[in-house]
Structure 1
């Protein structure tokens, strides 16, 4: 053996081993730091060293970041680092670290109220460690069971929550895992408190406190304090409850949820005690902390407390202002509910419209019957005139009176029908106006939500969503503004849609030449909406991806009828379809196009000749 080369290699291996051990020690040191801001600062100082470390060390390094950000309530940052852990361990990596990544995302999603997604991630974590025999996996299995109980608690399924909690207590007792038992008894106290069993809740909280102190778990200490304070409050021991709430508030470096819960509960308690000034001071401090950490639910709750406190104080102007802020944040958190409400409203208006249409048809039928009756009466009158001219002359004045009454009745019916038709047209315009306004509300909600999004990709997705909503709103706007409310003037609609999109993406005239060949077609709304969304997606795709920043180009759009089909053609002379789609850009938009085309019984063809050209032939369309 050549020892000249063997000895240097041996010493090199020792150096790498020593470096890995040194990094491991640093991670362990960071793990003992309770203050999340301090922990992140220390982890940042290790960034260069861990950049070239093993996947195992990187995984643990990212976990420390994720846990720190999660403790501070910074959801996006926490999820991002947990996803890095999953990526490093998904293909043949450390199964325990992989389970921790899934479980970490589950915890973060649970705090934001996304219970179904949270449940899915905990189930993935459970699958990873299930039937694994190493002690870490066995202990983590019990921890995941406990987290599942927490989700069912959030979903107000208290029986299921208790079932999983008791199962976790049994597993943790067998494992002699005191730290996990602390979590279990905190959860059991929450469940008992919500069931109204205050004695059991207090006993469980005291058991939790014993394990928390034994294992020095600062994170859990705050939540157990919340439990105990709320138990005291329910038992009427308000002095004890207030003391604990103030203790939670003073812990500025700990868990943000615990601190904000302290502000919220104490402010609520002061309102109940008719002390509005102190409640206002606490709620304002809560707003500042919640804005600083971007925790929207607590910002909403703080404004709710403020308007209640000002109302109690008699300052109704300030109360109204705070109530508006509360509604603003409430709406931004519940935009899905707003959309559902819009759908219900549309169904209601559609029902009213159908009722008016039925009434109008009834009037039309009545008019036809009256006209037939009139014709029959006139025939009989002429017959009687020939047979008994003298009788007719004698009764002439009477007939004139009767005919005058008949004509008056007919005139009244015609006036009623005319008024009904006018009311129907006004109602249709009002419906379209309200739908357009509600779509604008959704657009505003999306715009408001975008202010709190840091990721540019997510911001772009929200902007595309807003453009889709605008394309539908534009149709309803045209219907209530124009005289013909039965159909959409497609040349005018496409002009407006193109102007809106060009403005949205800030495209200047010197960069893009637009040519339109749109036949004067008036489309029914049921055809115009899906076709308008397809046009929106195709134009958006070209405007965003067809041309580089310094490239000029041409965009063409054609719409015409040919051989019993409605043909839409959108083309550009940009980089081409394969280049635009190679990275999966606008894949949702392309999927949406296919879905809408299926609804219209349309065929979709794409060509990649000197740019991109889409040809869509619609078979199932209706003219107005």
Structure 2
């Protein structure tokens, strides 16, 4: 309202403010803070929901796929057709990686199988060649008349036959890198004693072995040690009468031992092993295994040859883990 006070020179003006958009909030501090805060919370919730649906959910999915790949199951493929372009590209990269690993593993398995096949063929041919040499030595032995010469040729033939058996065990076994020692010792003992049976002499054998698989590098000297010990028994203990032969293999903690014992003649002096070729070879085979050889008379009047060496490779943990030695002839 306007009122003139002094002519047209002085006026009095009275007014009240008009209501604005936020005029209701003037004088109320709480009402001025809540709306912006509420708007911020709603915006944050919207961002969280969108991020969860568009990014986080797919990242968790790809994490599960990567965990499956880490366990070796590369046949599973990521399905991210509905994911954002960046996530879809990451899923395609994981699929490509899995496919590449599957192809590489297949190539490696094929290469290893080819290598194993070649090694088995080599072992087979070496075994055949050793058997041919053994047959030639046997023919030469039969042509000799000197008993000492025939005995020396027989020793050579038995050593060659034992090596042939080593190679046969390698290519017929399920693993080229290890051999079931128990079954091998049974086969070797039977092969060496068969000549005693054919001559009418009865040799009672007992073969006991703790379950162990052994490296081929150790199998050959161990087999040749057994050949020398059994050959010595054939010459000096079983000649003309037969007897008892015990072949015992034991594993105790980190030490393995092979003991070959034979019975002696009743009322005969205690058996001994001289300083000939057999003892020299057996001592050399023990050194090759990093062990030692001991020769002592036993309570049966015969001789016990003990081979001790360290480091057994692997004992069987379960019956299913046993390696079966094939006896195909």
TM-score range, shorter chain: 0.5 to 0.7
Indicate whether 1:617 and 2:308 are aligned: yes
* Map of 2:150 onto structure 1: 459
CA deviations on 1:198-248 (whole Å, 9 max, x unpaired) are xxxxxxxxxxxxxxxxxxxxxxxxxxxxxxxxxxxxxxxxxxxxxxxxxxx
Secondary structure of residue in 1 paired with 2:197 = coil
Offset at 1:563? 4.1
Q: Does 1:561 align with 2:228?
A: no
* CA distance in structure 1 between the partners assigned to 2:110 and 2:228 by the alignment: 41
Counterpart Cα distance in 1 of 2:179 and 2:303: 27
Report the Cα distance in structure 2 between the residues aligned to 1:531 and 1:445, rounded to whole angstroms. 25
CA separation in 1, counterparts of 2:259 and 2:136?
Answer: 33
Q: Distance in 2 between matches of 1:473 and 1:501?
A: 13
Distance, in Å, in 1 between the alignment partners of 2:105 and 2:158 is: 45
SS in structure 1 at match of 2:211: coil
> What does 1:270-281 align with in structure 2 at a 5 Å threshold?
none
Q: Is the 8 A contact 1:545 1:580 kept in 2?
A: no
The residue correspondences of 1:158-307 to structure 2 (distance < 5 A) are none
Structure number, greater radius of gyration:
2
Note if contact 1:524-1:623 (Cα within 8 Å) is conserved in structure 2: no
Q: Do the aligned partners of residues 520 and 621 (structure 1) sit closer, same or farther apart at CA in structure 2, a change above 3 Å counting?
A: closer
How far apart are the structure 1 equivalents of 2:113 and 2:174? 12
Contact 1:569 1:613 (C-alpha < 8 Å) held by counterparts: yes
| 412 and 504 in structure 1: CA distance in 2 versus 1, 3 angstrom threshold | same
Q: Does the CA contact (< 8 Å) of 1:505 and 1:544 recur in 2? A: no
Structure 2 length-normalised TM: 0.63
Q: After superposition, where does 1:10-89 map in structure 2 within 5 Å? A: none
Does structure 2 conserve the Cα–Cα contact (< 8 Å) formed by 1:489 and 1:520?
A: yes
Cα offset, 1:602, TM superposition: 1.9
Are the aligned partners of 2:283 and 2:293 in contact in 1 as well (CA < 8 Å)?
yes
Post-superposition shift, 1:481?
A: 0.6
SS of residue matched to 1:604? strand
Name 1:407's counterpart in structure 2.
Answer: 98
2:320 is matched with none
More strand by share: 2
- After superposition, residues 111-510 of structure 1 pair within 5 angstroms as 392-394=83-85, 401-506=92-197
- Indicate conservation of the 8 Å contact 2:251/2:312, yes or no: no
Q: CA deviation at 1:449?
A: 3.3
Q: Could you tell me how far 1:423 is from its partner in structure 2?
A: 1.5
Q: Quick one: structure 1 residues 504 and 496, their matched pair in 2 at CA, closer, same or farther if it must change by over 3 Å?
A: same
Write out the 4+ residue segments of structure 1 that deviate beyond 6 Å after TM superposition. Answer: none
Other structure's SS at 1:458 match: helix
**Which of 602, 606, 609 matches 2:291?**
602
Partner of 1:206: none
Q: Answer whether contact 2:196 2:203 (CA < 8 A) is retained.
A: no
Q: Are the equivalent residues in 1 in contact too, given 2:293–2:306 (CA < 8 A)?
A: yes
The 8 Å contact of residues 249 and 257 in structure 2, kept in 1 or not, is answered as: yes
Deviation at 1:471, TM superposition (A): 0.8
| Structure 1 unaligned blocks of 5 or more | 1-373, 379-388
Residues 409, 577 of structure 1: CA spacing in aligned structure 2 closer, same or farther, 3 A cutoff?
farther
Deviation at 1:395, TM superposition (A): 5.3
1:587 aligns with 2:289: no
Closer, same or farther: CA 450–503 of 1 in aligned 2, 3 Å: same
In 2: Cα distance, 1:622 partner to 1:406 partner: 37
The residue aligned with 2:11 is: none
Higher normalized helix content (fraction of residues): 1
Q: Confirm or deny: 8 A CA contact 1:600 1:621 kept in the other structure.
A: no
Distance 1:592 1:449 in 2: 23
Check whether the contact 1:546–1:580 (CA below 8 A) recurs between aligned residues: no
Q: 1:518, 1:560 within 8 Å by CA — same for their partners in 2?
A: yes
Between the aligned partners of 1:438 and 1:407, the Cα distance in structure 2 is: 46
Q: What displacement does 1:557 show?
A: 1.3
After superposition, the C-alpha distances for 1:598-621 in whole angstroms (9 at most, x for unaligned) are 222222222223221222211365
Q: Which runs of 5+ in 2 are unaligned?
A: 1-64, 70-79, 316-329
Q: Per-residue CA shift, 1:16-58, capped at 9, x if unaligned?
A: xxxxxxxxxxxxxxxxxxxxxxxxxxxxxxxxxxxxxxxxxxx
* 1:46 corresponding residue in structure 2: none
For 1:250, the equivalent position in structure 2 comes to none
Cα pair 1:446 1:462 within 8 Å, conserved: yes
